[in-house]
Amino acid sequence: MEYNKNFYQIHSNDDIFQRIKDERAEIGYYDLPYQDTNDIKNYVATVRQRHIVVLGIGGSSLGARAIYEFLLPSNKYQKDLIFLETVDPLEIKYCLKKLDINDAHFVVISKSGSTIETISLFKYLSTLVEVNGKNCTIISEAKTKLTKYANNNDIKVFELAENIGGRFSVFSVVGLVPLAMVGADIDNLLNGCRRVSDSFFKQKEYYQPIISKARFLVENKARFNINAIFSYSSSLESFNKWYVQLWAESLGKLNINKTRQALTPIALIGPVDQHSFLQLIIDGVRDKTVTFIKIADLKDDTIIPKSSANLGLEYAEGLSFNDLLNKQADATIQSVEAQKDIPCDVITISTVDEYNIAKLMFSYQLLVSTIGQFLQINTYDQPGVENGKVILTNALKC
Amino acid sequence: MEYNKNFYQIHSNDDIFQRIKDERAEIGYYDLPYQDTNDIKNYVATVRQRHIVVLGIGGSSLGARAIYEFLLPSNKYQKDLIFLETVDPLEIKYCLKKLDINDAHFVVISKSGSTIETISLFKYLSTLVEVNGKNCTIISEAKTKLTKYANNNDIKVFELAENIGGRFSVFSVVGLVPLAMVGADIDNLLNGCRRVSDSFFKQKEYYQPIISKARFLVENKARFNINAIFSYSSSLESFNKWYVQLWAESLGKLNINKTRQALTPIALIGPVDQHSFLQLIIDGVRDKTVTFIKIADLKDDTIIPKSSANLGLEYAEGLSFNDLLNKQADATIQSVEAQKDIPCDVITISTVDEYNIAKLMFSYQLLVSTIGQFLQINTYDQPGVENGKVILTNALKC
């Protein structure tokens, strides 16, 4: 009889760090900060259309969208970036109405080349406008039908490496190509990633906090099974969605002992969700950790003006909206901390630019990889969604 | 010595139903389906501006936004409805750039009249354009500073009753006035509410399922502390946010025994979140219930065309996008049901119109009220957020 199973091993921080370093040789996203972007920059300089339309879903759209919408209110772009994700026909038509299809460039992104939403949308678009090498770019793995189609039709292909999964692909061609097309500074994105990566792999004072946070979340996952982020700026709303995918799809797994692992992400926006979810955090069951994300300086000095209208709240007059936003964040943080028994931390990024959002996102990828090592799961696959795809294929084929 | 406390009483379904009927005499939202809308309709007919701008946050915006965005892709409106919620200055400016401020009508909504986000925004707007009775409408309780301001400046006020809380106010003037201004059929909204209300209060076969669902969620809340909705249409994204507020802020409470109660809402969109959160539902810890929401008929027959491009997935060609969307929902539902141990139900609404979204939303309000009775909480207050407001006020005053 043999009965020797690793039911659960909690590893030392040093051991986990070594495992991440080992993993780095296999998992593609770790190298992305050090890539050469010349091919991308040279190519996008030839794209003349005013609307850039991404056809992609999940990992093929969420990352670029997070960065695009973070920078959007500060007027960084000369062109629109539009995301066609869903197959809801009303939504598709509503989206297409907003753009001039003859002045649009389509970026079709599917790692497998056979994503049913993306390919169906692409077929439909091809009936509305002639698609060719002048108004289309394709991003896929090397050997897919989509890549073959592109090669047969003189459409530029950016190949996505097999060892880069969708939710870890934002700093690959998947994110960089569409972002570069609208004028985002992709080198500064990679600067931010490199800063985080270099620090993490070389400086103990940087990697220890990430590993300690991962350890805390894992050791307390039965009690605190929900991890909320509370982002204080509406421009982080798509970042929030990216976080939810990264966290949920990476960490919801059977581990090597075949036991179910999970940390459940919740993503909130401040101050809006002070008027919604906050009540549940404060008075509800203690099953949540909360990470606040603040932006120190929005570089905007719009002031709440003095008013003679007798509307009250005079004490806020003269303050900038930027200050009000951050003081609201601080007050919420204090009110959560005052509860004493809600695990809570604060991440502050300096300002709204490529460098800072990349730092935030790359750090989150490292945190998720680290949690995955503690949980003893495969952080990079998604076996749970395959059965639904088989059921759908069978339903469509009969 | 006295020691006689109601630590926990689980009530019979009939008892809960009686409590809801008793509550109906006090809580204002139950009567909203039966209100007279003539004053609203007569007034909005006089509003000539092209852009309707709601200044409001939380319960003052989420309900109208849910309905507006649900109907938006089917081109129901002659006018834009824009929501100014946050105090993020970049977001404010970005929002204002999209409209002609001289052709805008501002609907300022604050139940208390002293919501810091809304009042600060209103003061700022008043420096950009002259605000008067011709381009402004105010919705607030009768005795607030905001109402007084309106009366002093000949601005139309719609009074919000004190016994209607923000998150239960969508079918009051808070939701109906802005929706009527852009051309939504508010009488059909109330038809939907009345249909649900009449059935619930008169027909056992209608109220029993709602009470049974509430009972299941409450009796299993320790095991399944997360309640996900999975809405199969992007047009339900704002409905999802409204659900999150309704659920979180109503049900995250200390109950009469001073024990923490909570059911945590998660809101997903299909098929997009098949590529995100679904993995966690399928392979993660069994701590979630899932309610799927489907729309049977989007009244759109756009077809996935035949393609000679050799892109694969030929078996989906000839299908309508509407059918693909619903078949994706069905496949996901089947794959969740196949797990056997994930509590799951399906709500199907007929189509995209006022009547159907109102039925869905009013049903959810009744469900939340019913859960609140089981939990022995006050479903209608939000004491947990007050401390943060005090901290903010003190910080701003010093």
Give me the tens of pLDDT residue by residue for chain B, a chain 398 residues long. 555 555 666 788 999 999 999 999 999 999 999 999 999 999 999 999 999 999 999 999 999 999 999 999 987 788 999 999 999 999 999 999 999 999 999 999 999 999 999 999 999 999 999 999 999 999 999 999 999 999 999 999 999 999 999 999 999 999 999 999 999 999 999 999 999 999 999 988 889 999 999 999 999 999 999 999 999 999 999 999 999 999 999 999 999 989 999 999 999 999 999 999 999 999 999 999 999 999 999 999 999 999 999 999 999 999 999 999 999 999 999 999 999 999 999 999 999 999 999 999 999 999 999 999 999 999 999 999 999 999 999 999 98
Give the integer Cα–Cα distance in Å for A273 and A270: 5
**Chain A residue closest in CA terms to B320:** A89
Task: With a cut of 90, say whether residue A242 has pLDDT above it.
Answer: yes
Q: What percent of chain A has pLDDT over 70?
A: 97
Residues of A annotated as part of the active site: 249, 275, 389
Contact A282 B384 (CB under 8 A): yes
Contact A391 B334 (CB under 8 A): yes
Q: How far is A31 from chain B (nearest CA, A)?
A: 24
Give the integer Cα–Cα distance in Å for A32 and A23: 14
- CA-nearest of A62, A236, A71, A52 to A165 is A62
For A116, which of B92, B313, B338 is closest by C-beta distance?
B313
Q: Which helix (H) or strand (E) segment is A62 a member of? A: helix A62-71
Average pLDDT, chain A: 95
pLDDT (0 to 100) of residue A74? 86
| ipTM here | 0.96
With beta carbons under 8 A apart, name residues in chain B contacting A70. Answer: none
Contact A397 B315 (CB under 8 A): yes
pLDDT (0 to 100) of residue A204? 86
pLDDT (0 to 100) of residue A3? 59
Q: How far is B58 from chain A (nearest CA, A)?
A: 5
pLDDT, one tens digit per residue, over A169-224 is 999 999 999 999 999 999 999 999 999 999 999 988 889 999 999 999 999 999 99
Q: How far is A340 from chain B (nearest CA, A)?
A: 14
Contact B309 A282 (CB under 8 A): no
DSSP string, A251-276: HSEE-TTS-EE--EEEEEETTGGGGT
pLDDT (0 to 100) of residue A11? 80
Q: How far is B146 from chain A (nearest CA, A)?
A: 6
Residues of B annotated as part of the active site: 249, 275, 389
pLDDT (0 to 100) of residue B2? 59
For B388, which of A88, A274, A284 is closest by C-beta distance?
A274
- CA-nearest of A246, A218, A245, A249 to A381 is A249
Give the integer Cα–Cα distance in Å for A310 and B10: 50
Give the integer Cα–Cα distance in Å for A255 and B335: 20
With beta carbons under 8 A apart, name residues in chain B contacting A392. Answer: 327-328, 331
Give the integer Cα–Cα distance in Å for B141 and B163: 10
With beta carbons under 8 A apart, name residues in chain A contacting B170. Answer: none
Contact A93 B73 (CB under 8 A): yes
For A235, which of B90, B235, B284 is closest by C-beta distance?
B90
Residues whose CB is less than 8 angstroms from the CB of residue A202 and which lie 6 or more positions away in sequence, other chains included: none
* Domains of chain B by start residue, with CATH: 28-184 (3.40.50.10490), 188-375 (3.40.50.10490)
Contact A261 B285 (CB under 8 A): yes
With beta carbons under 8 A apart, name residues in chain A contacting B244. Answer: 276-277
pLDDT, one tens digit per residue, over A82-136 is 999 999 999 999 999 999 999 999 999 999 999 999 999 999 999 999 999 999 9
With beta carbons under 8 A apart, name residues in chain A contacting B127. Answer: 305
For B126, which of A244, A274, A307 is closest by C-beta distance?
A307
Contact A312 B395 (CB under 8 A): no
pLDDT, one tens digit per residue, over A355-382 is 999 999 999 999 999 999 999 999 999 9
For B396, which of A119, A319, A389 is closest by C-beta distance?
A319
Contact B62 A148 (CB under 8 A): no
Task: With a cut of 70, say whether residue A263 has pLDDT above it.
Answer: yes
Q: How far is A203 from chain B (nearest CA, A)?
A: 32
pLDDT (0 to 100) of residue B78? 85
Do residues B238 and B361 touch, judged by C-beta distance below 8 A?
no
Task: With a cut of 80, say whether residue A9 has pLDDT above it.
Answer: no
